[in-house]
Chains A and B, each alone.
Chain A
Amino acid sequence: MKVVIIDDEPLARMLVKEYLQVYPQVEIMEECGDGFDGLKAIQKYQPDLIFLDIQMPKINGFEMLELVENPPAVIFTTAFDEFAIKAFETHAIDYLLKPFSKERFDKAMQKYSLQNATSNKVQTQSLLDTASQSHSEHRVVVKDGVKIKIIPLQQIQYLEAADDYVKIHTAEGIFLKKKTMQFFENGLPAQQFVRIHRSYIVAVSLINKIDHNEKDSYLLLLSTGTKLPVSKSGYIKLKEILGL
């Protein structure tokens, strides 16, 4: 059984390692100090289980998980207070609140081994959907080739649906994220972003002009010069948010 430990505090990693000593089937592939190394290790070793801290440098545990293609089973190790983590209780394999005892740790391991691999993965996926919605930071994390790019929300001009992906348009270029439009519509702050069309979400601050196109159809002009179609329901939402 392959395991990766991701935590920015060396002593915290040491503790997990120590607790894992009594499990002969466990093979610790790598210990990582941040999400970037964590992501690389997960891609390299395809572990069965990861121990993941939430508060970490640059990108947090949730943001790292979002970037993993086929996320493994996760046990969170965190000092977050219980309220913050309660929402994910039903989705994660388990979460260990620091400091945790050996007994508590063994219980989490037991829970993991009782469930089969598929159900574990399903859980991680549904965890992610919950996590990013209630945990939306002021930014979006994407993979740009091999690099990880952090996009602050104010740099996003508009989002465009593209099959399984969403294209994120910024002044620096276009970035792809494997998510649905629904995911972004729920996650982004409603005062700053509005969904004007099945395939488009725009930043409210960039709206320049709404043009009447044909009968019952409108075009939105952004201050960057981009023109986007507006659907009927999108027009109603636009009118509401702009106070027309």
Chain B
Amino acid sequence: MAQSPFFTGKFTRVFIAWWLIWFALQALLLYWEGFGWRIAIIDSIVFNFFTAAACWLVTFTFQFYLPRQERFWYILTLSITLSLCIVFLSRWVLQLTVDDNIIYLTMLKNWLPIRFGIALLMIGCMSMISVLWYTFQDQQETENRRTTAQSLKKEAELIALRRQLQPHFLFNSLNSISALVGTKPEEARKMIQQLSDFLRGTIKKENEQSVLLSEELMHLQLYLDIEKLRFGDRLNTIVTTGEDIGKMKLPALILQPVVENAIKFGLYDTTENVTIIITCRIENNNLSITVSNPYDPETAQSQKGEGFGLSSVKRRLYLLFARTDLVETQALNKIFITTIKIPQQI
């Protein structure tokens, strides 16, 4: 929740000073009109106290409820209602306190519209300030979330490169290339090319916030081709996409950790041949990507949870879209299914 401007001492001090000045002005004015100090001070205290309280109330209310639509009418209605309340409330209090001066009482009645105008102006100003204040706070929060998301993405990339690509993927791939060099130099050269393209793509994407699905799938294909060379016949992959889906966008490097997780899970949890199925489609204006891999329900529990891959994907999607329901996993009859949903900006 946003913080009230009264939380900062400076604002409170200015607020109090402002009302002291108004109190003094009004009292002086009444005194010069010839009502005497007693009436001048009582009148000024009562009216200014109620108006100041209403201003504080407006700020307080906006902290908890500020409509996004019809904001102008909401503020206007609130200001008018509060001003009317102040005028009649202060009149009633003053009538009870000062009941001995006919001139004053007549003045009180005749000046009602002027008092109303002043109260409306004050409350209106205060509403403006509050709305600006809270909007600014809201914006700052969004900004904060975005920067955290960005730094986390960077962190995830670094960790992915350091922890996942290096020891297992990268070194094993290099070892495979080393094996191919002796007998199939042409294939070795091809694998070096694929590996280079893949690494280059990963580095390039570090600077991009969101990418086209078609691009991400191309990048993924490089990764899958390398893995297939490494594991030979054991690994099969099927990628299916609906029509016109290539224009959908998704955060850079979000798909690969999910697929990597599925491959690891599939290859190291079973000894049979493994088929990884990746399906992309549109669902309620969301891009929905499903990755499925076989697993063994009996031993899967002993694996270390979802692994770094999925939890970082979950966290990144939360920071980008402020939703926790974008990553779902489900286990169905020896098949493990991970679904990620990417909301599309309109």
A contact residues vs B (CB 8 Å cutoff) = 8-12, 14-15, 18, 33-34, 36, 55-58, 79-81, 97-100, 137-139, 150, 152-154
Contacts and interface: CB of A to CB of B under 8 A. Distances in A.
13 contacts: A8-B231, A11-B176, A11-B180, A11-B232, A12-B175, A15-B175, A56-B268, A57-B269, A79-B175, A98-B171, A99-B178, A139-B299, A152-B302
B270 A58 contact: yes
Given A55-B168, A150-B299, A9 B268 contact: no
A23 B181 CA distance: 20
Contacts of A81: 166-167
Nearest to A36: B271
Interface string B147-188: 000000000000000000011100110111111101100000
A14 B270 contact: no
Contact of A139 (B229, B230, B234, B302): B302
A79 B270 CA distance: 20
A80 B167 contact: yes
A10 B232 contact: yes
Instruction: Summarize B's interface: helix, strand, loop or mixed.
Output: helix
Interface of B: 166-168, 171-172, 174-180, 182-183, 229-232, 234, 267-271, 296, 298-299, 301-304
Given A80-B167, A150-B299, A152-B299, A11 B271 contact: no
Nearest to A98: B175
Contact of A33 (B166, B182, B234): B234
B183 A9 contact: no
A123 to B, nearest CB: 25
Contacts of B166: 81
Nearest to A56: B268
Nearest to B305: A138
A153 B230 CA distance: 32
Contacts of A139: 299, 302
A36 B299 CA distance: 15
Nearest to B166: A81
B271 A137 contact: no
A175 B168 CA distance: 33
A14 B183 CA distance: 9
A79 B178 CA distance: 13
Nearest to B272: A57
A79 B271 contact: no
Contact of B271 (A9, A58, A138): A58
Contacts of A137: 302
Contacts of B303: 138
Contacts of B168: 55, 79
Contacts of B172: 9, 12, 79, 98
Contacts of B230: 9, 11
A124 B103 CA distance: 111
A33 to B, nearest CB: 7
A83 to B, nearest CB: 10
A26 B181 CA distance: 23
A15 B230 CA distance: 12
Contacts of B176: 9, 11-12
B269 A58 contact: yes
B302 A79 contact: no
Given A11-B230, A79-B168, A58 B174 contact: no
Nearest to A97: B171
A55 B268 contact: yes
B174 A98 contact: yes
Contact of A152 (B177, B178, B180, B301): B301
B273 to A, nearest CB: 11
B302 A138 contact: yes
Interface pairs A-B: 10 shortest CB-CB: A15-B179, A98-B175, A79-B171, A152-B302, A99-B175, A11-B176, A139-B302, A11-B179, A10-B232, A99-B174
Contacts of B177: 99
Contacts of A14: 179, 183
B163 to A, nearest CB: 9
Given A79-B175, A97-B171, A11 B268 contact: no
Given A15-B182, A57-B267, A98-B172, 10 more contacts: A8-B231, A9-B172, A11-B180, A18-B182, A34-B271, A55-B268, A58-B270, A98-B171, A99-B177, A138-B303
A56 B269 CA distance: 9
B179 to A, nearest CB: 4
A198 to B, nearest CB: 28
Contacts of A12: 172, 175-176, 179
A97 B268 CA distance: 20
A242 B176 CA distance: 51
A154 B171 contact: no
A153 B302 contact: yes
Contacts of A98: 171-172, 174-175
B179 A138 contact: no
Given A11-B229, A79-B168, A154 B301 contact: yes
